[in-house]
Structure 1
Amino acid sequence: MVEQLLLALFLFFLPLLLFLHRGSNKKKNSPFSTKTLPKSYPLIGSYLEIKANFHRSVQWLSDIVQISPAATFTLHRLFGQRQVITGNPAVVQHILKNRFSVYQKGHLFRQNLADFLGDGIFNVDGNNWKFQRQVASHEFNTKSLRKFVENVVDTELSHRLVPILAAAASQNQVLDFQDILQRFAFDNICKIAFGFHPEYLKPSLEQSKFALAFEEATEISTKRFRKPLSIIWKIQKKLNIGSEKQLRVAVSEVREFAKNIVKEKNQELQEKASLESADMLSRFLSSGHSDEDFVTDIVISFILAGKDTTSAALTWFFWLLSKNPRVEKEVLKEIREKSEAPVYDEVKDMVYTHAALSESMRLYPPVPMDTKEAVDDDVLPDGTVVKKGMRVTYHVYAMGRLENLWGPDWAEFRPERWLDRVATTDSDEGNWRWNFVPRDSFSYPVFQAGPRICLGKEMAFLQMKRVVAGILRRFRVVPAVEEGVEPEFISFLTAKMKGGFPVRLEERADQE
Structure 2
Amino acid sequence: MSNFELSASLLLCLIPLFCFFFVYFNKTFVRNLFASKSSKIPRSYPLIGSYFSILANKERRVQWTSDIVRSSPNFTFTLHRPLGHRLVLTANPSTVQHILKSHFHVYGKGDVFRTTLSDFLGEGIFNTDGANWKFQRQVSSHEFNTRSLRKFVETVVDTELSERLVPILAAAADNKTVLDFQDILQRFAFDNICKIAFGYDPAYLLPSLPEAKFAVAFEDATRISSERFNSLVPLIWKVKRALNVGSERKLKEAVHQVREFAKQIIKEKKAELEEKSSIDSVDLLSRFLSSGHSDEDFVTDIVISFILAGRDTTSAALTWFFWLVFGNPNVEKKIVEEIKEKSESPEYDEVKDMVYTHASLCESMRLYPPVPTDTKEATEDDVLPDGTVVRKGTRVTYHPYAMGRIEEVWGSDWAEFKPERWLEREGLSGKWNFVGKDSYTYPVFQAGPRICLGKEMAFLQMKRVVAGVLRRFKVVPAIEEGVEPVFMAYLTSKMKGGFPVRIFERAESC
Asked whether the two chains share a fold, i.e. TM above 0.5, the reply is yes
Q: Deviations over 1:383-432 (max 9, x none)?
A: 000000000000110000000110111001000000010036xxxxxx22
Which 5+ residue runs of structure 2 have no aligned equivalent? none
What's the TM-score, normalizing by structure 2?
0.96
1:63 match: 67
Q: Does 1:256 align with 2:260?
A: yes
2:403 match: 399
Deviation at 1:271, TM superposition (A): 1.1
Mapped partners of 1:375, 1:125: distance in 2: 12
2:288 counterpart letter in structure 1: F
Aligned residue runs from structure 1 range 326-365, under 5 A: 326-365=330-369
User: Which residue of 226, 231, 234 corresponds with 1:227?
Assistant: 231
1:17 match: 19
User: Which residue of 471, 487, 490 corresponds with 1:489?
Assistant: 487
1:291 match: 295
1:427 match: none
Q: Does 1:188 align with 2:186?
A: no
User: Which residue of 87, 90, 94 corresponds with 2:94?
Assistant: 90
1:458 counterpart letter in structure 2: E
Mapped partners of 2:444, 2:488: distance in 1: 16
Mapped partners of 1:265, 1:221: distance in 2: 28
Aligned sequence identity (%) = 68
2:318 match: 314
Q: 1:39 to 1:330 in 2, by over 3 A?
A: same
Deviation at 1:71, TM superposition (A): 0.3
Mapped partners of 1:4, 1:348: distance in 2: 59
Query: Number of paired residues?
Result: 505
Contact 1:24–1:51, Cα closer than 8 Å, also in 2: no
Q: 1:441 to 1:457 in 2, by over 3 A?
A: same
Choose 243-252 or 31-40, whichever is displaced more.
Answer: 31-40
Q: Deviations over 1:316-361 (max 9, x none)?
A: 0000000000000000000000000000000000000000000000
User: Which residue of 492, 495, 498 corresponds with 2:496?
Assistant: 498
Contact 1:317–1:360, Cα closer than 8 Å, also in 2: yes
1:482 counterpart letter in structure 2: E
1:112 match: 116
1:428 match: none
Which 5+ residue runs of structure 1 have no aligned equivalent? 425-430
Aligned residue runs from structure 1 range 113-192, under 5 A: 113-192=117-196
Deviation at 1:154, TM superposition (A): 0.5
Q: Does 1:385 align with 2:383?
A: no
1:38 match: 42
Q: 1:486 to 1:290 in 2, by over 3 A?
A: same
Deviation at 1:20, TM superposition (A): 5.4
Runs of 4+ in 1 over 4 A off after TM superposition: 1-6, 20-27
Q: 1:501 to 1:23 in 2, by over 3 A?
A: farther
Mapped partners of 1:176, 1:489: distance in 2: 16
Mapped partners of 2:94, 2:348: distance in 1: 36
1:438 match: 436
Aligned residue runs from structure 1 range 405-420, under 5 A: 405-420=409-424
What's the TM-score, normalizing by structure 1?
0.96
Deviation at 1:206, TM superposition (A): 2.7
Contact 2:36–2:43, Cα closer than 8 Å, also in 1: no
Aligned residue runs from structure 1 range 180-219, under 5 A: 180-219=184-223
Contact 2:69–2:76, Cα closer than 8 Å, also in 1: yes
Mapped partners of 1:54, 1:266: distance in 2: 44
Deviation at 1:5, TM superposition (A): 8.9
Deviation at 1:21, TM superposition (A): 6.8
Q: State the secondary structure of the residue aligned to 2:442.
A: coil
User: Which residue of 460, 463, 466 corresponds with 2:464?
Assistant: 466
Deviation at 1:15, TM superposition (A): 4.8
Mapped partners of 1:354, 1:321: distance in 2: 13
Mapped partners of 1:511, 1:153: distance in 2: 20
Contact 2:342–2:354, Cα closer than 8 Å, also in 1: yes
Q: 1:157 to 1:238 in 2, by over 3 A?
A: same
Contact 1:3–1:231, Cα closer than 8 Å, also in 2: no
What's the RMSD between the two structures over aligned residues? 1.9
Contact 1:181–1:314, Cα closer than 8 Å, also in 2: yes
Contact 2:13–2:236, Cα closer than 8 Å, also in 1: no
Contact 1:220–1:243, Cα closer than 8 Å, also in 2: yes
Q: 1:365 to 1:233 in 2, by over 3 A?
A: same
Mapped partners of 1:225, 1:395: distance in 2: 15
Deviation at 1:36, TM superposition (A): 2.1
Mapped partners of 2:128, 2:367: distance in 1: 29
2:57 match: 53
Mapped partners of 1:168, 1:130: distance in 2: 45
